[in-house]
Amino acid sequence: MKEAYDYLLNKCSFYENESLVVAISGGPDSMALLHLLIKLRENIKINIICAHVNHNVRKESNKEKEFVEKYCKKNNIIFEYMKIKGYGDNNFHNEARNIRYKFFEEVMKKYNSKVLLTAHHGDDLIETVLMRIVRGSTIKGYAGFSKESIINDYRIIRPLIFCTKSEIELYDKENKIPYVIDASNEKDKYTRNRYRHNILPFFKKEDKNVNKKFLKYSETLLEYSNYIDKIMLSDFNKIYCDNKLNINLYLEKDNVIQKRIINYIFELIYSDDLNLINDVHIDIVNKLINSKKPNSSVELPNNIVVTREYEYVYFTNVSNDAMSQTNINNKILLENNIKINNMQFTYIDNEQDNSNYVCRLNSKEITLPLYIRGKKDGDIMYVKGMLGKKKIKDIFINEKIGILDRSKWPIIIDSNDNIVWLPGLKKSKYNKEKFEKYDIIIKCVNKEEKWKQTM
């Protein structure tokens, strides 16, 4: 524990009257950390703000809140508290962590603090590293966590990383530090607990200082990871911009840099849900990029779809994009001035334009009313000027329309589901020339010069 205190006193560079937010559960680890900060306050004038979260899953939680609050009042420590009212995520631990850290950030803003201290210790680091190795991760992920990290504009400091669980418990005993026990930590139904109870004792039996070896291992990996990031970030914004990856620029990079680029994109997309991603997902995306197929896609956790369209790869959140697609997943009656995906379809009386943005129909040759819908598997169209029928899929391929655009492309049909127009691309056999007989004119008003640029 001396090493942890020395780190706080000599390495953290706290300034006088600085406000430090510390995450306190009431357990032996966090209470030991709080005691170290109280001791530190004797040498450096600091303001200690205790942030306590009631996860609302155990009946003991209310008593634990009272215990921590009472301890803080006794030791002149500001106490901040929140109770989680409910959960909606299937991953309880992940959601609880996200809620917890959001609360911590709110407390830091309230007290104008740039520091959050947590009680993660050396045994936690070993467990995290081992779980990541078994699960699969990246160089940075295999490192577990560091003594200090920067998130947004604040520091997270973990001074107990130098200490083992037994050292912390001994410190509590010697200093008569009170704490509460979470009984769920003894249950092997949780993955971390199984590592803690079954694997850590073996490592410690082999080497009582094994935590120091894991800390060195972690620091070495982080050192290499930071170097790789420095190289990767120098060109990242050229390779990936606006959720779009340039394949040609990507393939110019070394394989190690390529994989780090993909993982960095995942960090941007998944943020606090990054635990849903592992090295398997990186390999899947890398294979997609190197595929000979010009158009293909893969699905990832949290409704993320990665789509290759010729020389680019797009990372799309399907749930966020759903509103732009649901309009045409089912038939919508084609009424005057209807807007679909930024395209305005208008019935007009006269038009000289004869491009693919204008359709002329004879109502006697089709079945009214007309509808708009999206592409369906097996769609065919009798293209004007061609013998026989042509698959809509083949038209999209020939016109180099990407997969994402295909799913949004409006198709005009009659009531018998005959495709009468593929706006901006092809006219059907039902379309009439200006000199022929027709009584319907539909114009697609496009704000962009090209249809493809609007999708």
d(CA 160, CA 120): 6
Does residue 154 carry a pLDDT above 90? Answer: yes
Strands 46-54 and 78-83, how do they pair?
Answer: parallel
- pTM confidence score: 0.70
> What pLDDT, in 10s, does the model give residues 156-214?
999 999 999 999 999 999 999 999 988 777 788 888 999 999 999 999 999 999 999 99
Query: What's the maximum distance between 2 C-alpha atoms anywhere in the chain?
Result: 100
H/E stretch holding 217 reads helix 210-239
- Which one is the CATH code of 330-454: 3.90.1580.10, 3.30.70.260, 3.50.40.10, 3.40.640.10? 3.50.40.10
State whether residue 126 is helix, strand or coil.
Answer: helix
Domains 2-217 and 330-454 share a fold: no
| Strand-pair partners of 82 | 53
CATH class of 242-321: alpha beta
pLDDT at 366 over 90: yes
Domain residue spans in the chain? 2-217, 242-321, 330-454
| 21-30, 88-97, 168-177, 259-268: range with lowest mean pLDDT | 88-97
CATH 3.90.245.10 is right for the domain spanning 2-217: no
Cα–Cα distance measured from residue 156 to residue 101, given in angstroms and rounded to the nearest whole number: 11
